[in-house]
Structure 1
Amino acid sequence: MKKLFCLLFIAISFQSIGQFSIGAKIGSNINYIGSSVSGGNVYRTNIGFHAGIFVQLPIKDKFSLIPEVQYIQKGADVAFSNGFSSSTERINLNYIELPILLSYSPIKQINIDLGPNFALMTSSKATGVFSNANLDNVYSKFDFNISGGMRWNVASKVSVIGRYNYGLSKIEENNNVVVNGKTTKATYSNRTIQFGLSYQIAK
């Protein structure tokens, strides 16, 4: 993870590429934990937020490179029952993420972004009626996903961002999921839809 943060530092310092810009972003996200099979934990969506900084480095013509560092709340809600009552528990998975996005601007007002996203979990907890537990031994510390989306440049320094993050690495696995009467293995990964605003601080 240290190497990834070094990449951002190099990007900020590497002025020879061209005129670059630095900005900040903040927004909310709709989170979900996807399963490789139908069965096991029944995850539902929950809401989190994200905030971070980015650097936009022009490459050539309409292309640029955008490294980011952001804090993001992921996770899901899951329904539990103890036989007498039921409750929805909230799974909070918090990460420091480093997306490295290739951006294409077909017109001045629009950017299309796509690239890998590396994440390190900072904390994981379950909160609800039945539990208030630390989940650091349940979910993987590292996450890798592909991020893609669009930015609408509504003003010279302000953009509206929409993005989808699809997890490629497993954050949890269960070897005892019953599907159609048979026990099988299920793996789980993050899914996130992000909406936010960015502001260009310096250029």
Structure 2
Amino acid sequence: MKKLTLLSVFLMSMHLSFAQQTEFGIRLGPSLTTFGGGDFNFYEFRFGFHAGAFVGLELSDKLVFEPGIQFARKGATSPIIGAGAIGLRNDYLDFPLLLKLRTGETFYVFVGPQPSFLLNSALVFEEPGNKVTLKGGALTDLWLGFDFAAVLGFGINIKKGFGVQLSYEHGVTNISKDDNLFNRGFKLSFHKSF
């Protein structure tokens, strides 16, 4: 709660100090994530999703500071002998702090850091016709509670506040207590600004 309060105070002060125009928005879409580090060849991409909100604080005609908050389902899949697979699934609360550069009315690029906090974890065993999900604090305890990533991407504003963007997240902090693993992923986001 303390962290959210500090973030709110920070956003308000940024708005009052620098912003010429403010926009609010929601963002959601599919994700494709895996792990880097460790035995990298052992992990494959898995589908997830993300959803959240953002605030766009205009610093100039071309530059926008865009902090946000998102629920993001991340993880990886590991094939097992036979036709099955084990899915490693981690749910995070992401705080992207993006600097967005408009290259015109329609296109933009962005970059920035993203701290994330682990909410919970699960193991998903899948084989044809069968799926078992294991959850609980013991699984969450296998992972470190904090992640930090570098984010970069590009987007297109369509019309009436709608748009789409593609981002890549490159985790730079270890997320596992037992191995040297890093989050890697792509997000395809659809957004609506108000």
- 8 Å Cα contact 2:116-2:146 kept in structure 1: yes
Q: CA RMSD in A?
A: 2.2
Structure 1 or 2, whichever has the larger Rg, is 1
- Counterpart CA distance in 2 for 1:193 and 1:72 is 11
Mapped to 2, the partners of 1:199 and 1:10 lie a distance apart of: 23
Aligned to 2:63: 63
**Residue 78 (structure 2) pairs with residue 78 (structure 1):** yes
What residue in structure 1 maps to residue 45 of structure 2?
45
Deviates more, 1:96-105 or 1:7-16: 7-16
Secondary structure class of the residue paired with 2:174: coil
- AA partner of residue 19 (structure 1): Q
Which aligned runs of 4 or more in structure 1 are off by greater than 6 angstroms? Answer: none
Q: Looking at secondary structure, tell me which structure has more strand per residue.
A: 1
Note if contact 1:4-1:98 (Cα within 8 Å) is conserved in structure 2. no
The alpha-carbon distance between structure 1 residues 161 and 2, as it changes in their structure 2 partners (threshold 3 A), is farther
Residue segments in structure 1 that go unaligned for 5+ positions in a row:
175-185
1:179 maps to which residue? Answer: none
Number of residue-to-residue matches in the alignment = 185
- Name the structure where helix makes up a greater proportion of residues: 2
Paired residues of 1:8 and 1:67 also in contact (CA < 8 A): no
| Structure 2: tracts of 5 or more residues without a match | 127-131
Letter in 2 for 1:158: F
Question: Quick one: percent identity of the two aligned structures?
Answer: 25
Q: What TM-score does the superposition give when structure 2 sets the normalisation length?
A: 0.86
Rounded to whole Å, the distance in 2 between the matches of 1:12 and 1:198 is 22
Q: Distance in 2 between matches of 1:38 and 1:72?
A: 22
Query: Do residues 195 (structure 1) and 188 (structure 2) align?
Result: yes
Mark the CA change 1:190 to 1:156 in structure 2 (over 3 Å): closer, same or farther: same
